[in-house]
Structure 1
Amino acid sequence: MTESAMDVVTSEIVDPHVLLITINRPEKRNAFDGATARAFEKVIDAYESDDDLRVAIITGAGPTFSAGQDLAAAAVGDFGGTERRGGFGVMGVRPHKPLIAAVEGHALAGGLELCLACDLVVASSATQMGIPEAARALVAVGGGLFRLPKRIPYHIAMELALTGESRSAEYFAQWGLVNKVVEPGEVVGAARELARKIAASGPLAVSASVEIVRRAYDWAETDAWSRQMEYADPVMASEDTQEGIRAFIEKREPVWKGR
C-alpha cells in the first residue's frame, strides 16, 4: 500500500482510557498532506466515539513533532485539511474530550497550530516553537493568529506573528502556553503521567469542563453563568456525580460509568 493509504497516522491505547496518536511521516518531518489529514480525522473520530477513551495524546514520529503543511504537496494543490474537521483533520472541529500535545522536537507553523488545537502541551527542553509564515510571505491560517493571543499576551503573540521567529519551549512555558518542559526523550512519558491523572477524573465532568474552558474566552461574564450550565447540568444529574459523592464519603476510589 502507498503512504497515503497506510500508517501515516497511528494510534494505540497506552494506559487505561488513554490513546496515543502518532503522526508517522518522519521523512517529511511529520508535515500534513490531504491523506494525512484524512487519516488524522479518522483517528479523532474513533477517539471521540469510544466511550472507554477519555484522553488522547498527540505526538510525532522521529525528531520533529510537526513541520505543519507539506509544502511540496501544497504546490500541487494537496492541502492538509478535511471538509468536516478542517486543518489537519482536527483544528476546526475538535473532539469533546481533552487532547495533549507531546512535543518531542520542533513544532513550527502548522505544528504550533496543532498544539493550539490541543488543551495541554508537554514539550522537550530542546523544542523550538513558532509561526514563521509571515517571514515567508504566508499567513498562518490554521488558527495560530486567533488562538495564540488567547493563550499568551497580545504583544508577545504579535511579535511572534510578525517576525516569524521561533522560541524555546521554556519561553512558551513562562507565558503559560506549555504546561510542562521535560528532558528530550521524556515527553511522551510525562504526557502519559498527565493523561492518567485526567483519566482518573469523572469522564463526563472532564468533557463538560473542556467545553466550558474552551468557550470561556468568547463569553461575557454576565452570560457565562447560564451558558456554563448547558454543559454542567447533565453532569450534575448523572450517575457518575452520585458515585463521586459516595466514593468521597466512603473514602474509596470512584468507579466511573460515564453516565
Structure 2
Amino acid sequence: MGPSGGTEHGGTEHLDVRREGATLVLTLNRPEAKNALSLPLLVGLHDGWVEADEDDGIRSVVVTGAGGDFCAGMDLKALAGRGMAGEQYRDRLKADPDLHWKAMLRHHRPRKPVIAAVEGHCVAGGTEILQGTDIRVAGESATFGLFEVKRGLFPIGGSTVRLQRQIPRTHALEMLLTGRPYSAAEAASIGLIGQVVPDGTALDKALEVAEQINACGPLAVEAVKASVYETAEMTETDGLKSELERGWPVFATEDAKEGAKAFAEKRPPVYRRA
C-alpha cells in the first residue's frame, strides 16, 4: 500500500506510481537530487501518462515530488546514463527519441485532467513540466522559475511558447529573461498556479480536487478538457463551432441520462463511460 493507502504498482527507481481510488498518483522520487530529471524518472513519467490514457478506470492524475521538492530541472549526467540509467532505459530513448519530451508533457497532452501538487523547488524543467498540467496547487514555501538563461541555456521544454499563453506576456518575459526565483504567492498572483496551501498539504489538496473531478461524468470531463485546449488558439466563432461538435455528443450518452436521473432521485450518479 502507498503512504496514503493507495495501491503501488509500476514505475521505475526514480518514479513511483500508485492508485488512490480513480486517481493515478505519479511521484518523482529522487529526493537526494531534488527530483532532478534522470532517464529512469522520465521513462516512468512517460509510462504513467500512457497508463492514464489507456486505463478507463483512471479519471484523473496527480503529479508530485518526494522529499519536499517537486523537481529541480534536468540532470544532464543522469540523462546521459552515466552510472545511473540502465541499458533498458537508453534503449527506450533510442526507440523513441521524443520520449523525454512526452514525459515532460511538451509533446503530449493526457486526456485525463492532470493536477500538480508542488512543494519546495519547482524550477527550470520542473516549471516546464508544470506548464503541461491542468490544475496547480503549491505549498506556501514552494519556489518557481526558469533559470536557463542564467546558465547560458535555453528553456527548450516549451516555455517560450506556452508560458505567454498561460500568464500575461510581461510576466512571462520577466520570468524567462531574468532567470530569477518566484515565491508561491507571486506565482499565484501572476496566474502560474491556482492555489497556495500550507506547506506539506499540497498533495492532500490535489487529491481533494481529484476526488471532485472523479465524481463527475468522465466522458463529460474529458470532452470539456479537450474543448478548452482545442479552442484556445481559435477565433471565437471557430471556437464556438468546435465546442458544439465536442459538446453535443455528450448529451446523447447514457452517462448524461444517468446524471439527470440521479439528480431527480437525489442520489450520487453511477457513471459507466457509456
Report the TM-score, using the length of structure 1 for normalisation. Answer: 0.91
Alpha carbons 2:231, 2:242 under 8 Å: kept: no
State the aligned residue count: 254
Task: Tell me what 1:256 maps to.
Answer: 271
- Which 10-residue stretch deviates more, 231-240 or 109-118? 231-240
Change (3 A) 1:97 1:84: farther
Structure 1 unaligned segments of length 5 or more: list them: none
Q: Does 1:166 align with 2:181?
A: yes
- Tell me by how many angstroms 1:146 deviates: 1.4
Alpha carbons 1:86, 1:93 under 8 Å: kept: no
Task: Tell me what 2:145 maps to.
Answer: 130
Alpha carbons 2:219, 2:273 under 8 Å: kept: yes
- Which 10-residue stretch deviates more, 67-76 or 234-243? 67-76
Whole-Å separation in 2 of the counterparts to 1:211 and 1:117 = 14
Task: Tell me what 2:135 maps to.
Answer: 120
Supply the AA of the counterpart residue of 1:241: A
Q: Does 1:100 align with 2:115?
A: yes
Alpha carbons 1:38, 1:88 under 8 Å: kept: no
Whole-Å separation in 2 of the counterparts to 1:242 and 1:94 = 29
Q: Does 1:223 align with 2:238?
A: yes
Change (3 A) 1:13 1:76: closer
- The equivalences for 1:60-79 within 5 A come to 60-74=65-79
Whole-Å separation in 2 of the counterparts to 1:75 and 1:41 = 17
Task: Tell me what 1:87 maps to.
Answer: 101
Equivalent residue for 1:12, pick from 8, 18, 35:
18
Alpha-carbon displacement from aligned partner over 1:100-156 (angstroms, at most 9, x marks no partner) = 010011100110111111001000100010111111111111121211111111101
Q: Does 1:184 align with 2:199?
A: yes
- Tell me by how many angstroms 1:63 deviates: 2.5
Alpha carbons 1:98, 1:119 under 8 Å: kept: yes
- Give the RMSD, CA atoms, in angstroms: 2.1
- Which 10-residue stretch deviates more, 5-14 or 68-77? 68-77
Alpha-carbon displacement from aligned partner over 1:40-92 (angstroms, at most 9, x marks no partner) = 11111111111111011000111320012113235679999754555261331
Whole-Å separation in 1 of the counterparts to 2:208 and 2:261 = 26
Whole-Å separation in 2 of the counterparts to 1:230 and 1:145 = 31
Whole-Å separation in 2 of the counterparts to 1:163 and 1:75 = 28
Alpha carbons 2:146, 2:176 under 8 Å: kept: yes
Whole-Å separation in 2 of the counterparts to 1:176 and 1:37 = 27
**Partner secondary structure for residue 65 of structure 1:** coil
Supply the AA of the counterpart residue of 1:47: A
Task: Tell me what 2:6 maps to.
Answer: none
Q: Aligned residues: percent identity? A: 37
Alpha carbons 2:70, 2:120 under 8 Å: kept: yes
Structure 2 unaligned segments of length 5 or more: list them: 1-10
Q: Does 1:232 align with 2:250?
A: no
Whole-Å separation in 2 of the counterparts to 1:184 and 1:60 = 13
Supply the AA of the counterpart residue of 2:193: V
Task: Tell me what 2:159 maps to.
Answer: 144
Alpha carbons 1:203, 1:258 under 8 Å: kept: yes
